[in-house]
Amino acid sequence: MCTFGRISFRTPCYTFYTMRNNTDLYTTVAQLMQSGKGILAADESDATAGKRLEIAKLPNQPGNRQDFRELLFTAPGVEEYLSGVILYDSTIRETTDQGTPFADVLAARGIVPGIKVDMGVKPIPGFDGEVITKGLDGLEDRCKEYFDIGARFTKWRAVITIGDGIPTDECIELNAVRMAEYALVVQSQGMVPMVEPEVLFAGTHSLAEAEEVTTRALTVLFATLKKYHVDLKGLILKSSMVLAGDTYQDQSSCDDVASATLRTFKLSVPRDVGGIVFLSGGQTPKRATENLQAIASYGAQPWPITFSYSRAIQEPVLIAWQGKPENVTLAQKVLLYRTRMNSLAQQGKYVSGEDLKDQK
């Protein structure tokens, strides 16, 4: 933050960081964006992790959180379909029952550890229903620590809500500036920043409204990133698919979602961006896979594109596990199945009927 007299502000007075070797950033991007692989978003806060555990009818206790994450990260063969995992602060500090840090477990399997570095959202004063993301304070020091622990990429999420008169341009612009400042700090510490301007699925908005808002948000974001001299080749966009609101009367076909999403990207995402990954954002596991397949069916794009799902991967695993040691093997098979389906979809090879087969 820059201060002149009594006025404190960020935008006109940002710092240009001395970059480490950008080749390292490009190497990390290439590892994360491998064909046939995606990124597991296991970066739920401890509170949100409790909502996940409710699916398995388990209380939100540290032991249950640790057991579930160990199940995910040690599943035999999962490295065939995952290139990276996004962790939360408490998770990256956890170990297996044998005492091996989770970051080391992942790295040993060729899976790149990542870390969520934002600290949630707070309301923007005077802008009802709109929020801005927190977490710039102390970010450089936290990034240094995370790098030492083993993280090689980071994530920062902004929340964009479609509603009556929102999102405003001011909300989009404020969040874009924060993401640019975040990206500069992260790259200066030798890690790849993932920027996630999530346009929420919840709502009554149409597909056309979602497309307009997503295009506007991404256009402003990348104009701001360029203004701040962020290295786009060393950056990954985590984006919503363009979806009509979950309570809109006319739900879109997979092809409509794919064409609207790719049209949005071609209008707003520069060609030199390192890659694009999708959040599932409340879609069912099967629907998230089907929409990814529809997008891949349009062929090669200017950027590599893959998945970075959370609940759409974890929910079936939790249902199979139920917190019972005797169910771990089955739950890991379900994890492998779900990631394999998304791997096939990323390559345009998924067949919907596959999801009707027995997963045993």
Among 37, 238, 290, 315, which one carries the catalytic annotation? Answer: 238
* Residue 130 designated active-site: no
* Residue 196 designated active-site: yes
Euclidean distance between CA atoms 285 and 342, whole angstroms: 9
User: Is the backbone peptide bond immediately before 167 cis, with ω within 30 degrees of 0?
Assistant: yes
Report the C-alpha dihedral over residues 320, 321, 322, 323, rounded to 10 degrees: 180
Among 44, 94, 181, 196, which one carries the catalytic annotation? Answer: 196
Instruction: Point out the residues that are catalytic.
Output: 196, 238
